[in-house]
Amino acid sequence: MTVSPGMQVNPAGIVAAGHPATADAAAQILEAGGNAFDAVIAGQFAACVAEPVLCSLGGGGFLLARPRGGPVQALDFFVQTPMRKRPAGDTEFLPIIADFGDAQQEFHIGLGSVATPGMVRGLFAAWRRFARLPMPVLLEPAVHLARDGVRVNALQAQAFRIVGAIYGHSEASRALFASPTRPGSLVVEGDRLQQTALADVLERLARDDGEDWFYTGEFAHQVADLCRRGGGHLELDDLRDYRARWREPLMLEYRGHRILTNPPPASGGLLSGFALRLLEASGPAPAVFGSADHLHRLARVMELTDRARLEAQAGGDAALDPAVLREAELLERYRRDIQGRPMAPRGTTHLSVIDAAGNVASLTSSNGEGCGVLIPDTGVMLNNMLGEQDLNPGGFFRWRENQRLTSMMAPTIVQQADGREVALGSGGSNRIRTAIVQALVNMLDFRMPLAAAVAAPRMHLEEGLLSVEAGFDDATALAPLLEAWPRHRVWSERSLFFGGVHAVARGDGGLDGAGDMRRGGIVRRAG
């Protein structure tokens, strides 16, 4: 892309993302005169090419946006359950095993696992409201990546290994993602992945009627026909009537700082806010990171938050503990706005951008793991959001029709008391909320630099199991923690299990960024 003389601002901005190609696409747009929203749109389209196991045009996500001098706005373009439900025996819905090495997990794939995608609607909605550059310019980096190929890095190769059963499910998918260097295998690290059919789709989206082509035109008819013949729920009116929704962000104060995050019907922002309120109510911040006080307090808050989540989902009385009772307002909103909605705790990726003018964008997205079936001649794999056991606790196919799924995804913007502004978010399924809370605590309570706040070791507590990442070196602090939670696992290394927080900041010190090494994090400065 040619940069016109005089269009650059020095520096133009900063990007943090989960893949170099994603970050490069966003930075390229900043250098071409685009704002943070142009950059996040271009970066997200590029992520659908470079991070195919985590995001796709067939998935969805959430954007938190603050235009310079304006309020923070939240855009929900997550997936929606279909309007009508086919009988279970008439669907393509089959289990596969994802192999994580030290653990295995069952997912369900096939056309019967597909929910209505929101990605394209969402990116076009953000473009209409905030962008400066034409959509063809924003799609250009993704088109080049798809047509010329993108080098598979270690993290993406690992993702393909874990869910190889999905990407090897159909003949078309096996052919698209086949390794050019290792016959009989899916792509491995170092391979160049070319997706020419997807490049054609992206170029088609760049035309004036591109969004309509996807939701009401030829592409929509292909999806509906394939689902009708192949055992899926989606019909033409599911795609035609899908809308991205602008919402009021959830706002809370934490120790004098303002935090704005993803509102209901997503659940991750509420649960993160709940945990922060409990931490603030527990007293002044601990003096030392990794101390016994810090670790015990953090684990206790995680335990209370998880208990409140489970009790609220069950419709019971979560206010069993005085600390939980103090946060009844957030809990009641959880019950009112989220209870009964299917949960989609799936693989995710995140992208944060701040430009030199002060526009801020934080976007988290997911395709689940993919349904295993490509829309013919497009290179697009739709999501498998209806194939998660947690989404169907009473048994599969019991989801409510025509309803937005809830999600742990929680893109967040922090306005610190000193005027510094931070955009962050995380991948990591159910660990998203604890990853974000710990990064915020490290930054706001322990006053760590952004990179250190993201890199510091983490914990996660869920349903009584405490997971502790390597890196907490004070054995005298760790021993009483493990004694208090006898159901625990201490990891021997840093792991993508604990999320991937990608963050950027703007303040008196200029622009700063941190990509989480757990999930291939990368920072790019533009200008």
Annotated binding residue 462: no
What does the pLDDT look like over 488-516, one tens digit per residue? 999 999 988 899 999 999 999 899 999 99
pLDDT band at 319 (very low <50, low <70, confident <90, very high): very low
pLDDT of residue 309: 73
Share of the chain above pLDDT 70, in %: 89
Question: How much of the chain exceeds pLDDT 90, in percent?
Answer: 76
pTM of the model: 0.93
pLDDT of 322 higher than 70: no
pLDDT-derived band at 447, boundaries 50, 70, 90: very high
Given a cut of 80, is residue 313 above it in pLDDT? Answer: no
Sheet holding 60-66, edge to edge: 245-247, 73-77, 60-66, 360-366, 349-355, 13-17, 522-526
Three-state DSSP class for 327? coil
pLDDT at 72: 98
Which band of pLDDT confidence, cut at 50, 70 and 90, is reported for residue 328?
A: low
Supply the pLDDT for residue 325. 41
388 labeled binding residue: yes
Highest mean pLDDT among 202-206, 266-270, 282-286: 202-206
- H/E element holding 108? strand 104-109
pLDDT score, position 92: 95
pLDDT in tens, 383-429: 999 987 655 556 678 888 999 988 889 999 999 999 999 999 999 88
Question: End-to-end distance of the chain based on CA atoms, in angstroms?
Answer: 14
Segments in 256-414 forming alpha helices (H): 268-281, 292-314, 322-325, 328-338
Structure tokens at 11: 């520096």
Question: Is 348 a residue of the active site?
Answer: yes
Which of 22, 261, 348, 378 is catalytic? The answer is: 348
Instruction: Retrieve residue 375's tokens.
Output: 């829309």
pLDDT digits (tens, 9 = 90+) for 7-44: 333 459 999 999 999 999 999 999 999 999 999 999 99
Collapse the DSSP code of 525 into the 3-class scheme (helix H, G, I; strand E, B; otherwise coil) and give the result. Answer: strand
**SS3 (DSSP) at 181:** coil
DSSP 71: -
CATH (residue range 247-344+408-508): 3.60.20
